[in-house]
C-alpha cells in the first residue's frame, strides 16, 4: 500500500517512516512525488481533529491515501496542558527548548509523585474515497526535573516513561526502544491492523 505522509516536521516524518515501512506500508513524502502540501492551520480542539484536517488536506492534494499525526504532551497537574498547543506552548511554533523549559517552570516545586503525564498521538489515514481510519496511542510517564539525553525531539528529554521505571527519559532511549513504547509507535501499529481489516 502506498501512502503520503503529511508533516513538515522532519523528525516526526522520520519516525513515521521508520515505524510504518517495516509493517508493509510504502511511505512517500509529498515532495518526492512532486507534490507541495499546504501547511494546514490546526484549528481543531483535539489531537484527533487536527490529525484529520491534515490527512484530509494531504489526500485531496496528493490523490493518494494520506496519513497525518497530531501529538503532544498532556500533564495531569497542568490540567492536560500543553495538549494541542504542545508545539507552540511557549508562543512560537516548534521551539522545543523553550516549550520544555516552560513546562518545567510550571511544575516548579511539584513533587515527583504528582508529575504524571502522557504523550498522546492521534493518527488519521484518509483515502481518496473519503474512507478514514482514526487511532490514538498513549504513553504514560512522569516529567523529570531537567532535560536528559540527546535523542528524540520535543519534550522527550524530560519525559520519563513508566515502562523504564521512570529511570530514563525518552531522549535517552534508542530509536528501537522508543518505537516499542511510544505513543506514535502504538498508534501506527493500531493503524496497520485497521488497514488490514479493510482489505
Q: Is 152 left (phi over 0), alpha (psi -120 to 50) or beta?
A: left
Place of cell 481518496: 128
Beta strands in the chain (DSSP E): 2-5, 26-29, 66-75, 116-126, 132-143, 159-161
Q: How far apart are CA 13 and CA 5, in angstroms?
A: 7
Grid coordinates of 63: 490523490
> Measured on CA atoms in the order 100, 104, 92, 181, is the torsion positive or negative?
positive
Residue 71: phi, psi to the nearest 5?
A: -145, 165
Q: Catalytic: 70? A: yes
Beta strands in 30-186 (DSSP E): 66-75, 116-126, 132-143, 159-161
Q: How many CB atoms lie within 10 A of CB 164?
A: 15
Q: Of the residues 70, 96, 156, 179, which is catalytic?
A: 70
Q: How far apart are CA 173 and CA 160, in angstroms?
A: 10
SS3 69: strand
Task: Cite the active site residues.
Answer: 70
Amino acid at each position: 500500500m502506498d501512502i503520503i505522509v503529511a508533516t513538515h516536521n522532519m523528525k516526526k516524518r522520520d519516525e513515521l517512516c521508520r515505524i510504518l515501512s517495516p509493517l508493509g506500508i510504502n511511505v512517500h513524502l509529498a515532495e518526492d512525488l512532486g507534490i507541495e502540501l499546504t501547511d494546514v492551520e490546526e484549528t481543531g480542539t483535539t489531537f484527533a481533529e487536527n490529525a484529520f484536517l491534515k490527512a484530509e488536506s494531504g489526500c485531496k492534494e496528493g490523490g493518494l491515501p494520506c496519513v497525518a499525526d497530531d501529538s503532544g504532551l498532556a500533564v495531569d497537574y497542568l490540567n492536560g496542558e500543553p495538549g494541542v498547543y504542545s508545539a507552540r506552548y511557549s508562543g512560537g511554533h516548534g521551539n522545543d527548548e523553550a516549550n520544555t523549559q516552560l513546562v518545567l517552570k510550571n511544575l516548579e516545586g511539584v513533587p515527583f509523585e504528582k508529575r504524571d503525564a502522557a504523550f498522546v498521538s492521534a493518527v488519521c489515514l484518509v483515502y481518496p474515497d473519503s474512507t478514514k481510519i482514526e487511532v490514538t496511542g498513549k504513553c504514560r510517564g512522569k516529567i523529570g526535573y531537567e532535560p536528559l539525553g540527546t535523542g528524540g525531539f520535543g519534550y522527550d528529554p524530560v519525559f520519563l516513561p513508566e515502562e523504564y521505571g521512570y529511570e530514563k527519559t525518552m531522549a535517552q532511549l534508542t530509536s528501537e526502544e522508543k518505537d516499542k513504547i511510544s505513543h506514535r509507535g502504538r498508534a501506527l501499529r493500531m493503524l496497520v491492523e485497521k488497514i488490514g481489516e479493510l482489505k
